[in-house]
Structure 1
Amino acid sequence: MSSEWHSAYKDAFGAHYWADQDIPTQDGFHEVVLDAANRISNSIKEQPNSNEEARLEKLTEVTQELLKQLTGTLHGELNKFHEVESLVKDLTLLRKIFSEGGPFSGVPILMPPDYQPFIFRITPIIHLLIKEPETFVISGSGGLPQFLADLELLRPGEIEKVGKLLGVIQGVEPTLSFDELMADVRSNIHDLISSNSRLASVQRRGGIEYLLKHDADVSEIIKKCDHSIGNHLYIGESIEPFTQIHRLTVDCLNHLEIKSLITPRKAEAIRQQLLSTTLTNAALATDRHDFDWAPMIKAAYTEGAEKNLEGILFLTYIQYTPANELNMAIIKEKVADKANYLKSELEEFCDKRVRNELVGKLGIEHLYTSNELLIMRGDQFAGDLGL
């Protein structure tokens, strides 16, 4: 459908200007945009078996491309988009397009992607979504709060620009305070997290301090963290955003435990799952060498958790835990029961350096011949010397 918008815009431009000509004024640009909106609306109406439902569905997608055109076109007077007169002209154009009788009347607005350059120039439509909700309706679940939450978490600099431009518009058309709206968005951020990247961005925005500052529900955030950890192992991909979610989980758990807002049993279950996923990533993720796993493993550890670890997860826990912090009684019990299995896991998953280290930590030298130990330690010695 995006090609249909660009085709309509090209035809409208050609009706007013030469192919290599710049549009000199904002009024001229708006004239072309409105012409293109009318062209594509009329084209859809003329299609066989066209009905209102089909029209709305097709034009909803076109709104995203139309708004991309408004935010992405920068030349001549359009560079003055931050001035009152320019913003008012944008409001006038949008009302002509979307109000009753306009080419996009009744069409829900599909917002451009939050990573769109100059996304803050969408401010006039945000103003109208707030001021005239009976006419301007955002498409998709979550509505305007969801869109603003995504910007808040992924593009905080753009949110600041939106706030400043809305302040300019407020001087002409007062409506609900943007600060009040954003306060509501931030206090409900726990309900507006739609992906792992958004959840990780809560940590980047300040983590537990951010949540407490804005009175968000930490108990709901920990549920989102627990779901993410339990269902997304990130194996074979970049470990991010797991490391951010890990920190957020630990900090939120600590807060809830201090405030007695979570049962010890539930907190331990979340930590056990966090430890398991952390060890899995530390052992198997493609970019595992880029991260410092020891503090992450320690933060997720609960007393006796190693009893429930098997194979490579148990070995990875041993690898990243200082010898003086290991429970040797549990280790000896594991080795006594599954020594050959642990050896096979070492051979399959661990390089020679780690293998040599863990053979000593586990006390399983007796499972290797003298020649195997010499080769293993000789390779390690050569590696240490850079040979």
Structure 2
Amino acid sequence: MIPFLNLKAQYAALQPQIEAAALGVLRSGRYVLGEEVAAFETEFAAACGARHAIAVNTGTSALHLSLLAAGIKAGDEVITTPFTFVATAAAIRYIGARPVFVDIDPKTFTIDPNLIERAITPRTRAIVPVHLYGQMADMAPILEIASRHGLIVVEDACQAHGASYFGQRAGSMGLSGCFSFYPGKNLGACGEGGIIVTSDDEQARLMRMLRDWGQDRRYHHVLEGYNYRMDAIQGAILRVKLHELDTWTDARRYRARTYTQLLAGGPVDLPVEAAGRRHVWHIFAVRTPDRDQLQKFLAEEGVETGLHYPVPVHLQPSYADLGYEPGDFPLAEAAANTVLSLPLYPELSVQEVEIVSKLVRQNAYVD
């Protein structure tokens, strides 16, 4: 059996350090925020090339607070992509704002900057590009459009820990950048977690208050805030794992190159790393019109795969009130119908990559 993800293997490799970090928090008696979370914030901000990091309980909370601190209000419009995890749109809706979708670049799966301006209206206040599957969106034209129209850019970098765009790290290019530490992410907690990075002092000040009931000091609530604080155990564990992130990223990139070499000219379309971008390969998604049959064949041969994402957000029942219909975003819909995520993680052996690749090729000859 080749699993799609193997968190037990990651834990086994770091078991003494992770357990020591967790035990240290348990013995400290400080279980929410605290010194470990503060230290992690400092270290993660430095890794992203940002001045501040604000640790929260989920990546969704990170997006929500970033938009709130940026001044997005009910009735505003926020441009984003329909080909993403639903949390991107959910965070916009939490405020009462409206997600306005733009189709994707089919090569990178990220929002197509050439389509953004036609979606701008007098109500547009922000753009949320999603750095999907571990590759950053085409940020230069996005930032230029935003500057020209007076719009805010908040990066959804929840799948892009350590990715870069012409040398600039994910999360550092917009007003703020949001990350998830859901366990399966490239940098994952042992539970839930998220963080926002920004180099804007005022944004950082607002988000620190908003995550902790709007307090500027204990029991003085100057904003309507939320309980979005990070648990201290997660902060301590993430400090341990952050030291491994570059090594893990190198391992992911090597396995992605191996897949690419072994599947070149084969029966599936391969993902690409765009010029100037450092892809961190959170997901290795191939494309084939026979996706469902390939997934079934691989499962029968003992290989787990994933679907990221089989229904774009604009076609989800919970967003039907936005008024979008099938065919509105044909490239996102085509991707949703054809992508299949192959196993890819640092602990995956090269031999296992070879087995999966051989089976993908073999499937082309199965009736």
Q: Which TM class, normalised by the smaller chain length?
A: under 0.3
Query: Please, what TM-score do these two structures have when normalized by structure 1?
Result: 0.21
Which structure has the higher relative contact order (CA within 8 Å, separation 6+)? Answer: 2
Normalized per residue, which structure has more strand? Answer: 2
Structure 2 length normalisation: TM-score?
0.22
Larger radius of gyration: 1
